[in-house]
């Protein structure tokens, strides 16, 4: 019984690390690499921030699908044949979105590291 607090702490650390670590099979893009990708018409560019954040500042060519709507709209608005490049403000929500897209059956997914905060 004296080990229970340590097990609980270890479990919570595992959950935190699991959210922070890159998802297996998701390509990690820098904003410099993103600039080169933006010209490619065979890619889909998704911004998972809120509509307010998106309307305040966004990259031309990105479509706004807020993270909480991705499960419903993803299958309707995105092709599983094309790579999906995902961005948010800091890279955390886009990481969650990338994980969600992989679970939905998308095989080609990329996450923009640092998000809009790293965009120049």
Residue in 26, 34, 87, 88 annotated catalytic: 88
Question: Which candidate, 46, 30, 23, places its Cα nearest to that of 100?
Answer: 23
pLDDT in tens, 28-67: 999 999 999 999 999 999 999 999 999 999 999 999 999 9
Mean pLDDT of 70-91: 95
Dmax (CA) for the chain in angstroms is: 59
Domain edges within the chain:
4-118
Residue 33's contacts (CB-CB under 8 Å, 6 or more residues apart) are none
Mean pLDDT of 63-84: 95
Bridge partners of 26, per DSSP, are: 109
According to DSSP, the β-strands at 26-29 and 109-112 are parallel
Helix 92-103, helix 70-77: angle, nearest 10: 60
The domain covering 4-118 belongs, at the CATH homologous superfamily level, to: Rhodanese-like domain (3.40.250.10)
pLDDT range class, residue 19, cuts 50, 70, 90 = low
Active site residue 111: no
Helix 92-103, helix 4-20: angle, nearest 10: 90
């Amino acid at each position: 019984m004296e080990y229970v607090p340590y097990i609980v702490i270890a479990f919570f650390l595992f959950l935190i690390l699991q959210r922070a670590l890159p998802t297996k099979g998701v390509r990690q893009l820098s904003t410099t690499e993103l600039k080169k990708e933006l010209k490619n018409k065979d890619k889909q560019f998704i911004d998972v921030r809120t509509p307010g954040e998106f309307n305040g500042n966004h990259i031309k060519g990105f479509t706004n699908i807020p993270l909480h709507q991705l499960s419903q709209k993803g299958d309707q608005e995105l092709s599983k044949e094309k790579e999906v490049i995902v961005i948010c403000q800091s890279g955390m929500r886009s990481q969650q979105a990338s994980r969600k897209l992989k679970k939905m059956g998308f095989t080609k997914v990329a996450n923009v590291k640092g998000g809009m905060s790293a965009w120049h």
